[in-house]
Chains A and B, each alone.
Chain A
Amino acid sequence: METELQARITAALGNRRMRANIRRALDRSVAKRLAAFPDRDELEDLRDQGQAIRTHALAHLPELLDELERNCSANGIRVHWAETCEQANRKVLDILRRHEAQMLIKGKSMVSEELGLNAFLEARGIEVVETDLGELIVQLAGERPFHILAPAIHKDRRQVAELFKARFPELPYSEDAEELTASARRILREKFRGAVAGLTGVNFAIAETGTLALVENEGNGRMCTTVPEVHIAVTGIEKVIARLDQLPTLLTLLTRSATGQPITTYVNLIGSPRRSGELDGPREVHLVLLDNGRSRIFADPELRATLHCIRCGACLNHCPVYVRLGGHAYGTVYPGPLGSILEPQLQGLDRAGALADASSLCGACSEVCPVRIPVPRLLNRLRAERVSAGAGSQVRGRGSRRDSRQAAIWRLWAWVHTNPGRYRLVSGLLSRTGSLVPRLVTPWTRSRRAPRLAPKGLHRLAREAGFGDD
């Protein structure tokens, strides 16, 4: 997987147009977030609260999930548990078949991407229509979302216009954003009218009340959850929170961190299916709760913080790696810093562990994370798990990068640096030759000069200048 990742990195770095598109878009996101938190103290205070709420939720995950199921069921929301993606996909298919649905309209849902739901349903003859504009664009292009919140952020207006021309030749060609949006809306309206079932993700599932919170800006989420007879919500088990009064804090952190908005245009709180006497709303609401490896992450006290994530995307927007590579180079469903801690754990270190190395550990992610996830610390832990020998944690693919040559180099390095006498001897020798071991710096010198060693090290200069041990 290392070499595949390297190939994707090289390709992404060479794609000037994509890099310009994404830099432009992310600069805007960074500026908007900055403007949305004018008061630093308030921001830090909110982050403390957000972290506390999520830490509490994950610390009580089993109980809260029980409570959520109880209260959802009491409200008439049917709860389904899926340990694997396959199980979740089957549940959705069963529900659709029961209602003889030929088509599924979808709001944005990264968990459905994780499930590979679209491909699964399409292979079984069910048409899937993405109704979020960005999702629709990547669906038309046959691509994966490029960013967890802004799926088509890598495409400029011209590229979208050409895509629409190819897929909807009957429409007049336009590069105007508003006209393109209007076209999409017309196409989607027809789909909404005929849909029997709608599927969405969930931002937060509130245990106390059995309520599903869903935020969005296009109104398509509300359409998906209210127009069809059946609404299916899919989400990961970690999205649960304890109480309704915790929701405002998380929502304001989420929307301000994500898009700089004080609140999204639509805030949907789904409490139940249509009750008798009500004029609209779905007849059935289903909640599919996906595990897919999350229990294993939950079991590790340090790595559990991975599950605190509220999917705001701020870490992507601020990441110097993501801004240069974009979302596809990661080769995963979840890209960016969040993806680099989550995917190696979901897929296993043997399959996605190289992502943990593709970071300078600069910490821009944890600096902005609204729930203070210590991303660099978790990356560091995953690196240790990759090369670790012997028993210990439960991380999938542990030790898969163990390599006796590497280990020997580090042992030698430690042998030199644990003993000051040896260290001074070796550094003295290096200083005399004037350069570092050439093989070691080969990748470095492709774009930089090799560093020059000083003829006399600081240990000697300090002694000569009279800075002694005491």
Chain B
Amino acid sequence: MNKPDAVYFFGTCLIDLLYPHVGLSAMRLLAREGIRVRYPQGQTCCGQPAYNSGYRDQARNVAAAQLTAFPADIPVVVPSASCAGMLRVHYPRLFAGTDDETRARALAGRVCEFTEFLMRTLGFRPVDLGPPLEVVLHNSCSARCELGVADAALELLDRLVNVRTLEPDHAYECCGFGGTFAVKEPALSAAMAADKTAAIAATGVPLLVGQDCGCLMNLENTFRCRGNGPQVKHIAELVWERTGGN
């Protein structure tokens, strides 16, 4: 894909409600790269919570609203691998055999996860202005298993010359969020989050970064409950801050 003039930004409902500054950092970063960023006010949620709970009709109805909200043939950048996965991988299946199938496929084909877009489409070369810093990059299962773009986030951190990435024990393992899983299977989810936060804390880094606010919300609030642990940030915020943004 060549560098586009304009992109849509799909903020995700989680970022809209809980982490709007993440969305804002990501959009400003894209704008600074000379891209016109369009944020449709008609967007709501990708429909994943209902889809993963088995309520496909409800998921489809909500998804249909997103098909309408992003009509132009330009990339849709998503600062969350799990929502990007929903749009890219599951929309074509969700709408298979319906009148909206073509539109769903077209939208799916335009979806780009944020770090993937920065690295693969823009060939982003950040100038790191920050002090030396050690971080852990939390593995996002959706980025790795569903989209196959996990290396983009790692590369992005790699290009921040003063940032060193440490790998915690069992880095490949899920943090235990899983959307409604965290509420339906609280004990299991908590056990996974406890091990994950312990492994991250053991590295001693002051900062945890990730590309999925679901995972980060899970880990941040587990750390807060434990009363210790690193600061938690979305990778878009980290990059924005270290490259002169404010």
Contact = CB atoms under 8 A, between A and B. Distances in A.
Interface of A: 6, 9-10, 13, 320-321, 324-325, 357-364, 366-367, 377, 380, 383-388, 401, 407, 410-411, 413-414, 416-420, 423-424, 427, 430-431, 440-441, 443-444, 446-454, 456-463, 465, 467-470
Contact of B194 (A386, A414, A447, A468): A447
B190 A458 contact: no
A461 B55 CA distance: 31
A441 B209 CA distance: 24
A462 B27 contact: yes
A6 B189 CA distance: 12
Sorting the interface of chain B by its residue count into under 10, 10 to 19, 20 to 34 or 35 or more gives 35 or more
A458 B19 CA distance: 8
Contacts of A362: 141, 145, 173-174, 178
B171 to A, nearest CB: 12
30 contacts: A9-B188, A13-B188, A359-B181, A360-B178, A377-B93, A384-B55, A407-B55, A413-B49, A414-B50, A414-B61, A417-B44, A417-B65, A419-B65, A424-B41, A427-B16, A430-B17, A441-B183, A444-B182, A447-B193, A448-B190, A454-B20, A454-B21, A456-B20, A457-B16, A457-B20, A459-B39, A460-B20, A463-B41, A467-B37, A468-B39
Central interface residue in B9, B27, B44, B47, by most chain A CB within 10 Å: B44
Interface in B7-65: 9, 11, 13, 15-21, 23-24, 27-28, 31, 37-45, 47, 49-59, 61-62, 64-65
B40 to A, nearest CB: 5
Contact of B181 (A361, A366, A377, A470): A361
Given A458-B15, A467-B39, A364 B173 contact: yes
Interface string B61-73: 1101100010010
B69 A420 contact: yes
B144 to A, nearest CB: 7
B20 A451 contact: no
B39 A450 contact: no
B187 interface: yes
Contacts of B177: 360
A467 B54 contact: no
A386 B188 contact: no
Interface string B129-158: 000000000000110111000000000000
Given A383-B54, A461-B20, 13 more contacts: A6-B187, A320-B176, A320-B192, A387-B53, A413-B49, A420-B44, A427-B17, A449-B225, A454-B18, A459-B11, A462-B23, A465-B24, A465-B28
Contact of A410 (B24, B28, B53, B72): B53
Contact of B44 (A321, A423, A447, A468): A423
B217 interface: yes
B203 interface: no
Contacts of B146: 363
Contact of B38 (A13, A430, A431, A470): A470
Contacts of B185: 9, 357-358
Central interface residue in B15, B45, B65, B185, by most chain A CB within 10 Å: B185
B43 A420 contact: yes
From DSSP, what is the main secondary structure of chain A's interface residues? helix
Nearest to A30: B172
Nearest to A401: B54
B218 A417 contact: no
A462 B65 contact: no
Interface of B: 9, 11, 13, 15-21, 23-24, 27-28, 31, 37-45, 47, 49-59, 61-62, 64-65, 69, 72, 93, 141-142, 144-146, 172-174, 176-179, 181-194, 217-218, 221-222, 224-225
A427 B17 CA distance: 7
Nearest to A457: B16
A420 B23 contact: no
A446 B190 CA distance: 8
A440 B9 contact: no
A451 B18 contact: yes
Contact of A447 (B13, B55, B190): B190
- Return the 10 tightest CB-CB contacts between A and B, nearest first: A360-B178, A363-B145, A383-B54, A362-B174, A443-B186, A447-B190, A414-B58, A448-B221, A362-B141, A458-B20
B59 to A, nearest CB: 8
A276 to B, nearest CB: 55
A420 to B, nearest CB: 4
Given A361-B178, A413-B58, A380 B20 contact: no
A462 B186 contact: no
A385 B56 CA distance: 10
A467 to B, nearest CB: 4
Contacts of B182: 443-444
